[in-house]
């Protein structure tokens, strides 16, 4: 997708999510996040470093960092990351080449004080397990995408996160 196509999509999605009081985060593309006025950007391992991103983005924009272990987590938090996306927690259909590290990974990452979003194979039944380990929330793809009733499944995830 070109930068322009991504901006068009992001700008339209931002309008839609704001109608529901939700926020838009752009994965890795700081330029698109700034241009569309996204609420945040999610930096991958090969992306900008947090310190460099902080110099570019508006002060109000949240910065998240994908992490896979304590070392990068500590560095990201010390550099000013607002939240961490930790994974792969469990085996996942979207990343079959990665074995899951298990919920214990969440505990090690949550110890650095930033909110942690657990990603990778987090089913509705596993939400309480990652929450007990310190996850603030979960990121889900196939758990909702592949459901017979995606809206109902989303509601089940949200209920588990509320408890």
List pLDDT tens digits, range 14-57: 998 888 888 999 999 999 999 999 999 999 988 999 999 999 99
pLDDT of residue 92: 83
6 vs 45: which has the higher pLDDT: 6
Structural domain containing residue 112: 82-163
Cβ(73)–Cβ(96) under 8 Å? no
Nearest to 4 by CA among 38, 50, 35: 35
Cβ(81)–Cβ(52) under 8 Å? no
| 160 pLDDT higher than 90 | yes
Tokens linked to 151? 């809206």
pLDDT tens profile 102-152? 999 999 999 999 999 999 999 999 999 999 999 999 999 899 999 999 999
Q: Residues 51, 28: one domain?
A: yes
Q: Residues 87, 30: one domain?
A: no
DSSP 75: H
Q: Residues 49, 102: one domain?
A: no
Cβ(122)–Cβ(92) under 8 Å? no
pLDDT band at 1 (very low <50, low <70, confident <90, very high): confident
Residue carrying the six token digits 């989303």: 154
Domain termination site, one of 77, 102, 133: 77
Q: Residues 52, 91: one domain?
A: no
Q: Residues 62, 87: one domain?
A: no
pLDDT of residue 33: 96
The CATH number that applies at residue 120 is 3.20.20.70
Domain termination site, one of 77, 100, 135: 77
Q: How many structural domains compose the chain?
A: 2
Domain termination site, one of 38, 57, 77: 77
């Amino acid at each position: 997708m070109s930068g322009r196509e991504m901006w068009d999509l992001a700008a339209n999605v931002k309008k839609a999510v704001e109608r529901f009081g939700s926020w838009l985060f752009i994965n890795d593309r700081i330029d698109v996040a700034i241009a569309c006025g996204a609420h945040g950007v999610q930096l991958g391992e090969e992306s900008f470093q947090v310190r460099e991103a902080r110099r570019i983005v508006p002060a109000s924009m949240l910065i998240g960092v994908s992490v896979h272990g304590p070392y990068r987590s500590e560095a990201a938090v010390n550099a000013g990351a607002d939240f961490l996306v930790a994974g792969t927690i469990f085996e996942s259909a979207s990343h079959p080449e990665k074995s899951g590290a298990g919920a214990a990974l969440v505990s090690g990452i949550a110890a650095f004080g930033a909110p942690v979003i657990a990603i990778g194979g987090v089913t509705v039944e596993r939400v309480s397990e990652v929450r007990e380990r310190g996850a603030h929330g979960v990121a889900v793809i196939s758990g909702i995408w592949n459901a017979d009733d995606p809206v109902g499944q989303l509601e089940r995830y949200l209920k588990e996160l509320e408890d």
